[in-house]
A and B are shown apart, each in its own frame.
Chain A
Amino acid sequence: MMVKEFDRRWIFLSIGLVVLIFLRVPLKLKYKLSPQTLGFYKAVESLPAGSVFFLSVDYGPGSEAELRPMHEALVYQLMKRNVKIISIAVFDTGPPLADMVFKKVTADLAREGIHKEYGKDYVNLGYKTGMDVAMAKIGASIVETYPTDNFGTPVEKLPMMKDVKNIKQVAMLCSLSAGSPGVREWLQQVQSRYKVRMVTGVTAVMTPDLYSFMQTGQIEGFLGGLVGAAEYENLLGRPGSGMAGMGVQSIAHMLIVGFIFIGNVLYIMSIIKAKRAKAKV
């Protein structure tokens, strides 16, 4: 059968069925911890209580499935360690996603008896246009770039912002990034200039770029896609949607490897057939 004649909707159906079925079939899997995830975790663990963490929520609905699990896990780890969080966004879809995660994690922590207050323990300063310009400006002065927070409150009225004027008062910077503007621009405009400690969480598509930056020490660790999020959740002992998706992710990968194998077998068979036909002539 010619590959070109094969109706690709059968492939769509098989992928769809695999995901539908295996999401309901729990697979107990062991996680091989990558050095990048461990680096991320250790960097965040090293932050002293009361220090300030600068989190840039640079993703949208198209990457929410990969980045939200790591976003929740990160905010959980930071709040449990009593690290204060400044959340901003250079993606216009960032602020509501940050609000959603803060709401969920503070509710989870409240059930554990840990209460966090907006303005004292965390702030959401909202979205700013300007991409690289906004980042360069944030490095020089957070207050000048963000005169108000996401709710319209003047920044000087927020208790935790009293001692934070620019990036030098921040212990660590993190960008949860789905594209541009994102981690690369933060590295260029802020990390390399002010030598602030940096970690990042990115989509799987962006992950291959970051190995070079980790090797140079520009970032201390990163979480790559849903796999990175699952490893991180496993480290924290807080199972979430990251870990829930790993079983089906594994099966789907094997299915695609199978497709590649079958496609190449058919291709080789067509070459042999063509050569035989040519030899006969």
Chain B
Amino acid sequence: MDVLGAWITVFLTLAIFSFLYRDNPIYKFAEHLFVGVSAGYGFIQAITGTLIPNLILPLKQSFNGVSNCSWARLGALILAILLLLRLVEKVAWLSRLPLALIIGMFAALRLLGRAQSDLILQVNGTMLPITGRNLSWLAWSGVSVLNNALLMVGVLSVLIYFFFSVEHKTPLKQIALVGTFFLMVTFGSSFGFTVLGRISLLIGRVQTLYRFSGREYGYASVICGLCFIIWFVMWEILRKKL
């Protein structure tokens, strides 16, 4: 990375971290800059990733007589224009047509995908043996009688907990209670991994700051850090005076 890039990276990193002390103008500037550049980035990627190769180039080939099979993309172009009309209040209703296409496509694809991957295969995976000559009683991980039985009981009790069409009276109530215990372990594990993930992200940023603290990058992290501290002290003094 070049020196200018390093200084920009360090400044913006510390600008965001400054929020930990207090909401301040530099943080607000960085926050709005982030939204702006991210939106601009997404705009260009939508054009280069999809519109140019899948719409503009095929239509260009059709107009040049190179290929005839891309005239159907004119339909996509018309629908795209109708979708953009959502910005004009008087004719916004025309955008319902392309939206209906998108929703129909997603509804069907998700229905099929979820049914196969998340329903059938997962239910199939829950049907586990709890007897067998080579099946051990206990194991820390992998198959065992206890593990398989717990897995089945856990899945069934969690599903019963979420079954709200019938009032949870005994014995459903007790089974649902068991389900909540399994859910608590699930959420606890999720919390543990969330902590792991967030600390990893912080480690990544601090590694970057250390990388740019050396002479080859003009001691960017050190100088920027000191400037931020001085700025905060002056800002606090000004705030208290006003």
Contact = CB atoms under 8 A, between A and B. Distances in A.
User: CB atoms of A and B under 8 A apart anywhere in the complex?
Assistant: yes
Given A188-B116, A192-B116, A132 B110 contact: yes
Contact of A66 (B117, B121, B197): B197
Contacts of B199: 19, 249, 252-253, 256
B53 interface: yes
Interface stretch (A48-56, A111-119, A163-171, A220-228): A220-228
Nearest to B34: A61
Q: Which of B21, B41, B189, B199 has the most CB of A within 10 A?
A: B199
B206 A20 contact: yes
A257 to B, nearest CB: 9
Contact of A65 (B53, B58, B118, B201): B201
B20 A19 contact: no
Contact of B203 (A12, A65, A93, A192): A65
B18 to A, nearest CB: 12
A121 interface: no
8 contacts: A35-B142, A66-B201, A93-B41, A127-B48, A130-B50, A189-B113, A204-B200, A205-B197
A37 interface: no
A66 B18 CA distance: 23
A185 B48 CA distance: 23
Main SS at interface, chain A: helix
B24 interface: no
A12 B20 contact: yes
10 nearest CB pairs, A to B: A65-B204, A188-B113, A204-B197, A216-B125, A127-B49, A226-B200, A192-B117, A92-B45, A204-B196, A245-B203
B88 interface: no
A15 interface: yes
Contact of A19 (B48, B151, B206): B206
Contacts of B200: 65-66, 204, 225-226, 245, 249
B109 A189 contact: yes
Contacts of A188: 110, 113-114, 116-118
A129 interface: yes
Given A130-B50, A192-B117, A225 B193 contact: yes
Interface string B200-228: 11111111001000000000000000000
Contacts of A12: 20
Interface in B33-52: 41-42, 45-46, 48-50, 52
A129 B125 CA distance: 32
Contact of A132 (B50, B53, B113, B151): B113
Contacts of A248: 203
Interface of A: 9, 12, 15-16, 19-20, 23-24, 35, 62-66, 92-93, 95, 126-130, 132-133, 136, 146-148, 152, 185, 187-189, 191-193, 203-205, 207-208, 212, 215-218, 224-227, 241, 244-245, 248-249, 252-253, 256
Given A20-B206, A92-B42, A212-B122, A128 B49 contact: yes
Given A12-B20, A132-B106, A192-B113, A204 B207 contact: no
B121 to A, nearest CB: 5
B41 A212 contact: no
Contacts of A19: 199, 202-203, 206
B196 A225 contact: yes
Given A19-B202, A35-B142, A132-B110, 14 more contacts: A9-B21, A19-B199, A23-B206, A63-B201, A65-B200, A92-B46, A93-B41, A129-B46, A129-B50, A133-B105, A189-B113, A204-B196, A227-B196, A252-B199
B124 interface: yes
Nearest to A252: B199
Contact of A218 (B117, B193, B203): B117
Given A188-B118, A218-B117, A128 B193 contact: no
Given A126-B48, A147-B54, A226 B117 contact: no
